[in-house]
């Protein structure tokens, strides 16, 4: 399993502080964007990030970013990210399955940037497969908490979705986001089917033992999937 830190902050200075703090250990980050509508919490916006770029660390060529859109109007934010991609390296964009009201389109039609889907704890794999072909989804993220805030409790049953997806023949990348930490990682590692990527948040952003935690996460890269 590889690690991509998940960063959820309310303002640009806090966001860039975390990136700067974690960049000695990681080069890829997942930025959480919440609109206060689709989820209760509201974070820094894409516009605020773009306006602040001129003075902050996102100009580092060695860094790349995923954006996790916990928003109702994901179409508008995707367009903003297309503009932002001219300034920083954006690898993946995640939108929530439950935010899509009409599946009468191909996900790839939304943007030239790669877009994948996110399953919340209440979203079932069976519901997903009724609406779209798994082959049409370039990558998936499983939420192991109710999205919106860092520090929400871990929902262990969602790990079964990884097994379900693999048994159904889904061979593309699967991410796990939410309450990934020293207490839940041993449970995740015991599973036969594990995510390709884990996205810890407060385990890195709020810890007093960052170097130790980062070293432990890096050691998981070499563990058998």
Per-residue pLDDT of 29-47, as tens digits, reads 999 999 999 999 999 999 9
Give per-residue pLDDT as tens, 44-90.
999 999 988 855 555 667 899 999 999 999 999 999 999 999 889 99
206-215 burial, b at 16+ Cβ within 10 Å, e below that, comes to: eeeebeebbe
What's the CA gap between 8 and 158, in Å, rounded?
A: 21
Give the model confidence (pLDDT) of 114-165 as tens digits: 999 999 999 999 999 999 999 999 999 999 999 977 778 999 999 999 999 9
Q: What is the mean pLDDT of residues 7-28?
A: 95
8 A C-beta contact, residue 115 and residue 107: yes
How many degrees, rounded to 5, is the angle at CA 91 between CA 216 and CA 195? 45
The pLDDT of residue 53 is: 80
CATH class of 2-222: alpha beta
Beta bridge partners of 117: 95, 140
What local confidence, expressed as pLDDT, does residue 225 receive? 47
Which whole-number Å values give the CA distances from 157 to 131, 142, 182, in the listed order? 22, 11, 18
* Contacts for 202 with CB less than 8 Å, ≥ 6 apart: 150, 151, 181
Query: Taking residues 217-223, what's their average pLDDT?
Result: 82
Average pLDDT over the chain reads: 93
Q: Is the pLDDT of residue 223 over 70?
A: no
Domain ranges of the chain: 2-222
Region for 40 from its dihedrals, namely left if φ exceeds 0, alpha if ψ lies in -120 to 50, beta otherwise: alpha
Could you tell me the sign of the dihedral formed by the alpha carbons of 68, 147, 42, 149, in that order?
negative
How far is C-alpha 95 from the chain's CA centre?
Answer: 9
* 98 has pLDDT over 80: yes
How many H-runs (helices) and E-runs (strands) does the chain carry?
8, 9
The residue length of the chain stands at 225
Distance CA 64, CA 51 (A): 18
CA dihedral defined by 202, 25, 4, 204, rounded to 10 degrees? -10
Q: How confident is the model at residue 104 (pLDDT cuts 50, 70, 90)?
A: confident
For 152, counting Cβ atoms within 10 Å of its Cβ (0-12 exposed, 13-18 middle, 19+ buried), the class is: middle
Indicate whether 6 pLDDT > 60: yes
Helices of type H across 110-209: 125-131, 160-167, 185-189, 202-205
DSSP string, 121-141: TT--HHHHHHHS-GGG-SEEE
């Amino acid at each position: 399993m590889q690690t991509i830190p998940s960063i959820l902050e309310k303002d640009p200075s806090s966001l860039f502080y975390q990136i700067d703090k974690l960049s000695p250990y990681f080069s890829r980050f997942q930025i959480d964007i919440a609109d206060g509508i689709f989820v209760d919490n509201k974070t820094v916006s894409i516009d605020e990030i773009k306006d602040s770029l001129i003075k902050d660390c996102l100009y580092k060529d060695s860094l790349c970013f995923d954006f996790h859109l916990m928003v109702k109007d994901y179409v508008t934010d995707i367009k903003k990210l297309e503009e932002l991609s001219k300034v920083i390296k954006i690898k993946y964009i995640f939108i929530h399955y439950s935010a899509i009201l009409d599946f009468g389109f191909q996900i790839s039609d939304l943007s030239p940037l790669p877009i994948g889907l996110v399953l919340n704890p209440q979203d079932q794999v069976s519901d997903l497969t009724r609406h779209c072909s798994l082959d049409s989804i370039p990558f998936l993220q499983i939420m192991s908490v109710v999205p919106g805030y860092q520090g929400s409790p871990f929902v262990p049953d969602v790990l079964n979705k990884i097994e379900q997806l693999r048994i159904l023949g889904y061979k593309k990348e699967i991410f796990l986001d939410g309450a990934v930490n020293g207490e839940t990682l041993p449970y995740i590692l015991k599973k036969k089917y594990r995510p390709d990527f884990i996205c810890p948040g407060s385990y890195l952003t709020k810890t007093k033992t960052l170097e130790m935690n980062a070293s432990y996460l890096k050691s998981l890269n070499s563990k058998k999937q």
